[in-house]
Structure formats: C-alpha cells, structure tokens
Amino acid sequence: MVVDEETALVSTESAVFLQKLVDKNLISESEKQFFSKPRKMLLVNFPARLDDGSIKLFSGYRVQYNTARGPAKGGIRFHQDVSFGEVKLLAFLMSLKCAVANIPLGGGKGGVEIDPRKYSAGELERISRAYINAIKEIIGERKDIPAPDVNTNGQVMAWMLDEYEKFVGEKQPGVITGKPIAVGGSHGRSYSTALGGVIVLEKLLERLKMQPKGQRVIIQGFGNAGSHAARLLAERGMKIIGASDSSTTLFNESGLDVAELLASKGAGALFAKNARKLSPADFLEQECDILIPAALSDAITGANEGRIKAKIVLELANAPVSPGADEKLFEKGVFVIPDILANAGGVVVSYLEGVQNASNYYWTEKVVNEKLDEIMTQAFTDVFDESRRKNISFRNAAYVLAINRILTAEKLRGNY
C-alpha cells in the first residue's frame, strides 16, 4: 500500500505534545522526528455478505506504531467516523501507554468504518470475520495483538479469534485479548480500565493527603469505563454528583444513586431520581473535586478549559484534553492524570491475559487484580516522581518516561 507523507505523519494533536516536549528541552528534535511516523499502516477494503444476500465493501485499518518493546497491542473499534488519523493517534498513545506501564508490548490500533447499530448480529459476525481475515498476515501472538475497543466486545473478539485460528490451523488464544473467559479470557478484564484509573486516583489522593470519602465526582461517559468507575468510586465512599452518556446528562450536587444509574443504563436509558439535566457544556463546568472524561476525545479544549472547576481530571477516555488546555490546567494547579496512565488498566490486564494464555494457567480474579494494582501503583509512582523531579505536568512526565523507555529499546537494537 502506498501512503503519502502527510497521511503517514503522526496526528496533529500528538505532534503538538511532542513539540512542547522539545520546546521544554525534555526531548531532542531528533527524538521527536523518530516518533513522527508509525512503523506500519494497513488499509483494507473487504467484502461481507448482508442478510439480504447482497455484498457490501467495508474499509478497515490497522496501525502498528512502535514495536521496539514487544508485539503491537491495541483495540479494534467499529465506528462510522473511524479514520487513519484517529487510528494512528490511538496507536501512538498505545505505544506510550504500554511503556508507561512498563509492560513488554508496543502500540497498535485498528478499526472498521461502520455504524454497528445498522447491522444485525449475523452481519456483525460476518463483518468481524472478514476484517480479521483481511489483516491476518500482520497479526499474531508475537506480532500484533488486537483487543476490544469502541463498539466491540468479547463476542466480537471470539468471532475474530475463531476466524484467525482457522487460518493458522491451531489454537492461538493469545492472538487476541479481551475474550470471554470461556475461550481464554481473563477474570477482571471487563472492568480493568476503570479499576486501573481508580488505583492511580487513590495514589494521587494519598500524595495530596485527600481522603477518598466524600470527594465529589463528575463522570462524562457512562459506558464500560465510566459505569465501572462510578461503581468502584462509590464503593470507596466518593460521591457521584454527575453522570452523562450520549443522550443525557444528570446532575445532583447532593449525590446520585449509583445503583439506580447502573440499573437504568442496563435497561437502556440513563436515569436518576432528583437529578437535573444540564447541557453537555454546562455539565463539564460544574464545581467538583474530580472530573472524569470517559467518552470521546477533545472534551476539554481551549474553548472551555478556563471554566473547568475540578481539582483533579482523570482521563479514562483517550485524548479528552487538548494540548493547549492541558498546559493551562497545569498552570492553574489542576492535576490531570493523563490517558496513557489513567486508562492503562485495560492493556495491563490484556497483557496478563496473554501471559495466562501462553502458560495455559489461569489466575483467580483476586490474583489478577493484585497484579494490576502492583503494576499501576508502580507506573503512578514513576510518573509522579518524574513530574516532581523535573517540575513538569503529569502528562509531560508520562510522555518523557515512555519515550525514554522506547528509545532505550531502540538504541539497544541499534535502530536509533
């Protein structure tokens, strides 16, 4: 496949972050250039049969950004707005995320341009199988390991695993993670992204000498990560005062009933008694202790960062705070726990799932969570210490830490 220079460049948003690191003398210009392009980008246009018997051509992507520290790792999303630019950014972030967590994996990402709401379960199965069949040559337990992402789940991963195993002619459960437990998945994977975020949040509260109980939390996005975060934080005595999804925003400064939120979301419509609805913009700007963007990117930008009243922002979504807004929030004394640390719990347990697949020995949920806690605690400590040592934001500290770890691997390999 031929890709022009503009398409191959790292996304504008990541380029801005990298340039800021150069401007602050945290990385060199040559180091920035080394990270400016992904190592491999694949575009596939593949056919799948619909229920009416017709054949439709779908477009899919897979990007392997950097694999110096291990096989590429990253989810597959089904969304009508998937593009090379988005997949490239997410693969870049995955490279950094795995390095921040200090697990032996590189960064990748994939996606299919599709609105899954418009297709039946049978059609989604055929599309899933056709996509994995189209990219099968570049994935593998030791090459590139996909996982679920936006609008994909364990069932989709099971279909993809089955299709891939037909191709190789043997069982290879470690080629895909985020699988159902019955086909080699790991306990704890379904809520690992949220739990990883909660762990690093607790560690920051400890450092700031803030008690978890009574902290006021607003969660934008009540999908898998956001809903599990609400449950876990409520269990720790925190007060969820705001929750939103794509169709509604609910706010009550006295606190929302998390059990009611979870039950209503499961029934298909987020609801809570005694809650008032706000506009999406006003919702983010309410006074709180902890704001958790857990939806899509660019929730906080230069247009609204001046009105953010949270003390801590925990990025469970990917890239929800723009580069300029991140800098301004740091100057205001807001602690932003960046996505490559805050939502790394998912890839950590995916890594642990792969370890279990390789050994054919599976741990209990308690053991998995203990291992997740150990890895996330160390990752937070590394980032916090780097931030304090250099008097830089958590994001800059996480980027520098990750880039240096990747460059060390590249230097040892003789590539840089």
Tell me the DSSP string of 183-196.
GT--TTGGGHHHHH
Question: 239-244 and 249-251 as β-strands: parallel, antiparallel, unpaired?
Answer: antiparallel
Compute φ and ψ for 280, nearest 5 degrees: -55, -35
Specify whether 109 is catalytic.
Answer: yes
In whole angstroms, give the CA distance from residue 76 to residue 62: 8
Number of Cβ atoms within 10 Å of the Cβ of 355: 16
**Angle CA 385–388–389, to nearest 5:** 80
- Residue 169 CB contacts under 8 Å (≥ 6 apart), including other chains: none
In whole angstroms, give the CA distance from residue 61 to residue 86: 10
| Catalytic-labelled residue, pool 97, 109, 179, 265 | 109
Tell me the DSSP string of 10-74.
PPHHHHHHHHHHHHTTSS-HHHHHHTSS-SEEEEEEEEEE-TTS-EEEEEEEEEEEE-SSSSEEE
In whole angstroms, give the CA distance from residue 319 to residue 309: 19
- Residue 64 CB contacts under 8 Å (≥ 6 apart), including other chains: 38, 39, 40, 41, 72, 91, 106, 107, 108, 138, 144
Number of Cβ atoms within 10 Å of the Cβ of 264: 18
Q: How many helices (H) and strands (E) does the chain have?
A: 15, 11
- Residue 90 CB contacts under 8 Å (≥ 6 apart), including other chains: 63, 74, 75, 109, 318
Handedness of CA 339, 140, 32, 404 (dihedral sign): positive
Nearest Cα neighbor of 315 from 409, 397, 220 is 220
**Length of the chain in terms of residues written:** 416
The residues that are catalytic are 109
